[in-house]
Structure 1
Amino acid sequence: MQSRWNDDDARRFAEAAEAEGLPAALGLRVYSSRLIGQDPDLVLHGGGNTSVKITDAPGGAIIHVKGSGWDLGDIEAPGLPAMRLEPLLETLSIPHMSDEDMVAFLRSHLLDPSAPNPSIEALLHAYMPHAFVDHTHATAILALADQDDMQAVVRDLYQGRVGFVPYVMPGYGLSHACNDALARAPQVEGLWLEKHGLFTFAETARDSYELMIEFVTTAEAFLASKGITLEGPQANDAPIPEDLASALTRALAAQGALGAEPVVDFRTTPAIRRYLARENVSELAMRGTATPDHVIRIKPFPLILEAGDDVAAIERKLADYADRYQAYFERNAPHASEPKTMLDPAPRAVLVPEVGLFAVGANEKAARIAGDLLEQTTRIVNAAEAFGSFAPISERELFDMEYWSLEQAKLKN
């Protein structure tokens, strides 16, 4: 992975921010956030988050954190809402806060009450003492993070420069877990979040961004040393199977869970077909998503079809899928901290061995987003299986993420 930092571009963003009466550091934060967001092997479709602390702001230090509903790839200054930093740091002494209380607390300290909700990981960013903090779901990192017992590998791979954080669901608990990890090893320049992704931090936008590039490149090189080639995003290399696409669309419309006009997005690449050709693909596809928040876009497991299925056959399989999804809900809902209402039982991922996959959505944008996530997932899983065994978070942890009120708010936005 190559750094795309350009001093002239960075200067233009800093100067543009100052021309609008904003700190130059915020302009640099916008610039490096876009560098991250425009690389699909770092983040996809609203994934990841970034922040910058302004310590010399009038009235005291503030922190700008990516706002919910914004995409790093085209983020602007309003997409990085500002909060007073000191009250956020006071929460370090509070061991627990509910999701709803955390959101209300963060909103109460926004400088602009009309700004979007700060990222669910805003407190994590606040607790890091560094000026710039970056968080990604990089493909190479996930191929290794979705393994069991990787703490020693991370330690050896990064020679103590990256701390290891066992899986904790994003939100208040993760913020404190990361703070604890940094307290144990204050010299680290990044945090490896098991089953989740990577954080880097530094005093300048360039240093934090380039640490991210360096650490992801280290993961790529480590995989390469094991003979594992991590391919980049790939374009379709075969036409859509029109008959199957039509049958699937008609069957989904008849099911009605996604409305009268569901959209399918077909993908087929060498990586996708290698994934689909695995003898254990049916079991492998049931293990879960490559990073926790993908579950709100692509559901916890796919529907599997055969190339020759007609509308009637697909309708039967959709009914079986709905039954399986309801069983998943009924297994996990009793363990939730609050009552849950089951979401729609329509698949978002449809696998067709020897052919390709269909991403499903209520509209074209939703289907395209799901397709991009699924294409990346196949490359992650291929590499993860070549290294060891793809081992994402458990079914119950997936359920907690899919039915988390804060994650559902992203879809509403």
Structure 2
Amino acid sequence: MNTSTTKKYFRQVESKWDDQEAKGKDPLASLVYRSNLLGSDSYINNTGGGNTSSKVMEKDPISGEEAEVLWVKGSGGDLRTATKPNFASLYQQKLLKLQDIYHGMENTGLKTPAEDSMTEMYAHCTYNLNPRAPSIDTPLHSFIPYKFVDHTHPVPVIAIATADNGPELMREVYGDEVEWVDWMRPGFELGLKLQEVIEKNPDIRGIILGGHGLINWADDEKECYETSIELINKAAAYLNEHERGEESFGGSRYDAVEEEQRRDMLAEVLPFLRGQVSQENQFIGTVQDDDVTLQFINAEDAPRLAELGTSCPDHFLRTKIKPLYVDWNPQQESIDELKSAIRSGLEQYRKDYAAYYNDHRDEDSPDMRDPNPTVILIPGLGMVAWGKNKSESRVTAEFYTAAIGVMRGAESVANYTALPKQEAYDIEYWALEEAKLQRMPPESELSRQVIAVVGAGSGIGKALVRRLIEEGGTVAALDLDSEAAEATAREVLDDIGMGIGVAGSDISGSGDVIGLGCDITDRDSVQEALQQVIIAYGGVDNVAVTAGLYPTPDEEGHVDDAAWDRAFAVNVKGNYIVADEVGSVWDAQNLKGSMVITTSANAVVAKAGSLAYDTSKSAANHLIRELAIELAPRVRVNGVAPATVVEGSSMFPRERVIASLTKYEIDFDREESTADLREKLADFYASRTLTKQPITLDQQTEAIYSLLSSRYENTTGHVLPVDGGLRDAFLR
């Protein structure tokens, strides 16, 4: 294994502060700028974690007098992407007065209820009716007597914060400029503790939060940001002096499987694994098999460290109390033995999680959540992270990557320690965390679903990709023209501002849609495309085939034998190859699935001039019925039969449109745009229907989406016409 990237892991980070860019910003815009800088690097701060604040003098909207206002990142925000609406605003003096209320409740001996009740009091401190809910870390920022505060989760600092001799290490790294606070749950009590420590040590610049992270401050905003950078770099420099390189985590126990073979093995095992972890809630996966991750998973100490779990609260809320380390030898055992190890490992993991829940719950605890792991470590192959969508699984992978770095640092200088199980449980099942989960909007119709759209480069397929993404789907856009497929993915992702969408060396890091080349007449091509989809997302749930071929007749209305063969290869056999190859994925997952094949009204309307196309589509109709029987009961197979859809169709290039207009004796000017010519042809086709309306892409995509979704969960083996009412196509 190439271990060059596993040496000198703890890097220095550069200040990205730009005086020119920062100049002239209002206080809130400046806070956003500082926050985005800190959030732009997951080595400094994980997605959704950490928070920043500024204390600013604002005009009270009622009295008109100046009042000190705390602007702080609100609940659920992300520093990297935060904008002004992501920040809560509270009257600073009102927040300070809450201390009297808290101490009064604390004296009753009911500390946890007192702590939780304070979050309800923040609403009474809101400045200017700001609807953004404050985070539970608000007191940390309010009670620190400085204008600007940064709270981050830097990997090298958390490494020191989780070491069993953390306070001693802190002194070696920082001397007297930083203090230590033992682990405390984020909230009001921790804010009071920080206030106390600063009062006793007025010259310090920051505090390490045991097991948690870093908090620092200044009365100048740039100074606050650069203090964060400086303190992170001091920790990184210290850890690099003690870095063990290839001997980290006790040295190597297993070798990584070579990359090409590794990807083949992952493609074989991932659908099985996805089915196993999706027995309660379906998941989308992210594979991570870089050198650093593999070095940890393959190491002697990996089983021990994996069992300890993570420490930083933000980490284990995503990664659960611990990952599943699969007991499998990649050099000596087979894929079948790996599957057996996964099955037994998951069974034990669920038992362990239930015991963890039952041992630490109380009478007010929420019901036990899904007991399946969200992080699975497979020696030789890599880490697989799971989430309700691709974005969430990527973040889960990001968090455990940070945890690996934390363990690497802590174990280089001491012994890594995780949170006590009761503390971990109290965070995971905290009433405030449960309330946040309950406030989340319902999941979208196609959330947790991976859908392959074949023919996504243009026409119905391209429009369908966007429709499925809007409904929460995770989509693989496949097309014979790989550049067109990639363009579809890129356009959709640019519009919604998400991820990356084209094939590359790190396809597992793809966004919610990915574009790939695929020739459905070539089984090898289909297998290769599906392997990439599986590596990207963990499996496939639904398939929509919109690809089709219309062989253009010659001047006498005939097509040659090769064109006949090509029409049946694309319109019939290609659909079968896709179904056959995805069938093995469906079998391995053992999850429900759906397939929709686009046929045509021509399949049942006999007419002159398109024999090869019409008969191939008629065969496709019957293929749907055969596949519905073949794949039942787990997978439904249906079809959509549009009348001619001219809009956006690759089967209607300008030459064919002109030929059709000429054939039907429709007046046109050859100087007209292709779009105008297509509209004339669409209007002509519409005139032959009962509704007299052109058949649109949106109508087709709505039909396909409905058949893929649960709306038709008891419909299979049928072809839904979307043809405007063609009497010759009526069922008979």
The answer to whether TM tops 0.5 is yes
* Corresponding residue for residue 299 of structure 1: 320
Aligned partner of 2:241 among 206, 214, 225: 225
Q: Partner of 1:168: helix, strand, or coil?
A: coil
CA distance in 1, matches of 2:245, 2:339: 38
Partner of residue 333, structure 1:
361
Q: Which has the larger radius of gyration?
A: 2
1:347-366 C-alpha deviation (Å, 9 max, x unpaired): 10101012111001122122
The corresponding residue for 1:178 is 194
TM-score, length-normalised on structure 1? 0.89
Q: Is the 8 A contact 2:76 2:135 kept in 1?
A: no
Task: Tell me: CA distance 1:400–1:86, structure 2 relative to 1, closer, same or farther (3 Å).
Answer: same
Tell whether 2:139 aligns with 1:108.
no
Per the alignment, residue 68 of structure 2 pairs with 61
Task: Indicate the residue corresponding to 2:175 in structure 1.
Answer: 159
Task: Measure, in 2, the Cα distance between the counterparts of 1:117 and 1:324.
Answer: 35
Q: State the SS of the aligned residue for 1:297.
A: helix
* 1:283 equivalent in alignment to 2:304: yes
Q: Point out the more displaced range, 272-281 or 221-230.
A: 221-230
8 Å contact from structure 2 (residues 156, 405) kept in 1: no
User: Whole-Å Cα distance in 1 between the matches of residues 127 and 57 of structure 2?
Assistant: 15
Please give the residue correspondences for 1:138-153 in structure 2 after superposition, counting only pairs within 5 Å. Answer: 138-153=154-169
Deviates further, 238-247 or 317-326 = 238-247
Code of the aligned partner of 1:84: Y
Give the superposed CA RMSD. 2.1
Name whichever of 55-64 and 78-87 sits farther off. Answer: 55-64
Q: Report SS of the residue matched to 1:357.
A: strand
Q: Which runs of 5+ in 1 are unaligned?
A: 15-23, 231-236
Pair 1:352 & 2:378 matched: yes
Cα shift readout 1:56-98 (whole Å, capped 9, x = no counterpart): 5444111011001111001111111111111111133333363
Q: Using the TM superposition, give the Cα deviation of residue 312 of structure 1 relative to its aligned residue in structure 2, in angstroms.
A: 6.0
Instruction: Work out the CA distance in 1 between the residues paired with 2:340 and 2:165.
Output: 45
**Structure 2, unpaired ranges of 5+:** 1-12, 107-112, 247-257, 441-732
Q: Relative to structure 2, which stretch is displaced further, 92-101 or 53-62?
A: 92-101
The letter of the residue matching 1:327 is A
Compare relative contact order (CA 8 Å, sep 6+) and give the higher one, 1 or 2.
Answer: 1
Match of 2:77 in 1: 70
1:170-220 deviations in Å (ceiling 9; x for gaps): 112211111111111112111111111001101122110100000000001
Matched, 1:258 2:281: yes
**Residues 33/126 of structure 1: CA separation in 2 closer, same or farther (3 Å cut):** same
Aligned twin of 1:234: none
CA distance in 1, matches of 2:203, 2:245: 32
User: In the TM superposition, what are the counterparts of 1:363-382 in structure 2 within 5 Å?
Assistant: 363-382=389-408
Deviates more, 1:144-153 or 1:25-34: 144-153
**CA distance, structure 2, for counterparts of residue 405 and residue 294 of structure 1:** 18
Given candidates 402, 418, 433, the residue that maps to 1:392 is: 418
CA drift of 1:277 comes to 2.1
CA deviations on 1:306-336 (whole Å, 9 max, x unpaired) are 36256565344323221111011111114x8
Contact 2:385 2:394 in 1 (8 A): yes
Instruction: Describe the shift of the 1:66–1:228 C-alpha distance in structure 2 as closer, same or farther (beyond 3 A).
Output: farther
Q: Which amino acid aligns with 2:316?
A: V
Measure how far apart 1:38 and its partner are.
0.5
Tell me the distance in 2 between the aligned counterparts of 1:187 and 1:248: 53
Question: What CA distance in whole angstroms lies between the structure 2 residues aligned with 1:404 and 1:108?
Answer: 22
Summarize the Cα distance change of 1:2–1:408 in structure 2 as closer, same or farther, 3 Å threshold: farther
What SS does structure 2 have at the residue aligned with 1:65?
Answer: strand
Secondary structure of the residue aligned to 1:286 is helix
Question: Residue 28 of structure 1 aligns to which amino acid in structure 2?
Answer: S
Structure-2 change in CA distance of 1:386 and 1:57 (3 Å):
same
Q: 1:187 aligns with which of 183, 192, 203?
A: 203
**Worse-superposed segment, 158-167 or 402-411:** 402-411
Q: Does 1:3 align with 2:5?
A: no
What are the superposed Cα offsets for residues 133-179 of structure 1, whole Å, 9 maximum, x if unpaired? 00000011011111123223323422211121111111122111111
Equivalent residue letter for 1:5 = W
Residue pair 2:181, 2:210 contacting (<8 A) in 1 also: yes
Contact 1:288 1:394 in 2 (8 A): no
- Distance (Å, rounded) in 2 between the aligned partners of 1:363 and 1:315: 23
Q: Measured at CA, do residues 55 and 129 of structure 1 come closer, stay the same or move farther in structure 2, by a change above 3 Å?
A: farther
Distance 2:98 2:164 in 1: 32
* 2:95 aligned with 1:88: yes
Q: CA deviation at 1:409?
A: 4.5
Of the structure 1 ranges 324-333 and 239-248, higher mean CA displacement relative to structure 2 is found in 239-248
Matched, 1:124 2:140: yes
In the alignment, residue 69 of structure 1 is paired with which amino acid? Answer: G
The one-letter amino acid of 1:378's match is: I
Given that 1:147 and 1:390 are in contact with CA atoms closer than 8 Å, whether structure 2 keeps it comes out as yes
Q: Secondary structure at the match of 1:55?
A: strand
What's the CA shift string for 1:264-320, capped at 9, x where partnerless?
Answer: 111112211221122232221121214122221110011223362565653443232
Work out whether 1:205 is the aligned partner of 2:221: yes
Alpha-carbon offset, residue 116 of structure 1: 2.2
Distance 1:280 1:221 in 2: 24
In 2, the alpha carbon distance for the partners of 1:228 and 1:111 equals: 51
Q: Distance in 2 between matches of 1:373 and 1:187?
A: 33
Contact 1:52/1:133 (<8 A) preserved: yes
TM superposition shift of 1:407? 2.9
- Confirm or deny that 1:244 pairs with 2:269: yes
Q: Distance in 1 between matches of 2:211 and 2:302?
A: 20
Do structure 1's residue 314 and structure 2's residue 342 form an aligned pair? yes
Counterpart of 1:67 in structure 2: which amino acid? G
Of 63-72 and 317-326, more deviation after overlay is shown by 317-326
Contact 2:366 2:434 (C-alpha < 8 Å) held by counterparts: no
Task: Kindly indicate whether the alpha-carbon contact (under 8 Å) linking 1:273 and 1:355 is maintained by their aligned counterparts in 2.
Answer: yes
